[in-house]
Amino acid sequence: MSKQQKKTTNKQTVSYNGEDFRAAFLRYSNGRLGMVLKTTGGQVHCSVSQNLPDHPIDRNNLFINHDNPGMLAAMMEAGVLRPTGRVVDCEHLAGVPECEVLEPWLQEAKEAEVIQ
């Protein structure tokens, strides 16, 4: 996680690839919502989201990172995200799904801030 990101964490867990993690929300430097999975020890395991600044998106939605197979299914099973049905293409990626953050996670997502 870069110094331009600040996270908040929900105490609920997300199971991904057979391990339990905590979701941590952040805002990219352009104000877009992002999310990572953290280990129980607080280390960042992987990025759930990706920042696609050329595509408009609702402030509390995010684009799923294609580098992590099964991520969308894990987020849906944990009740964190729901696909909006919108899928975007960009220079280096095709078929990137947009997702809506669900309660109780939404409140934490709204409070996520950018570190200056």
Measuring CA to CA, how many Å separate 60 from each of 3, 5, 30, 35? Answer: 21, 16, 13, 11
pLDDT digits (tens, 9 = 90+) for 12-45: 789 999 999 999 999 999 999 999 999 989 999 9
Q: Are 48 and 71 in contact (CB under 8 A)?
A: yes
Domain ranges of the chain: 9-111
Position 3 pLDDT exceeds 90: no
Q: Are 103 and 81 in contact (CB under 8 A)?
A: no
Among candidate residues 63, 66, 90, 72, the one with its CA nearest the CA of residue 14? 72
Query: Does 104 sit behind a cis peptide bond, omega within 30 degrees of 0 on the bond before it?
Result: yes
Q: pTM of the prediction?
A: 0.83
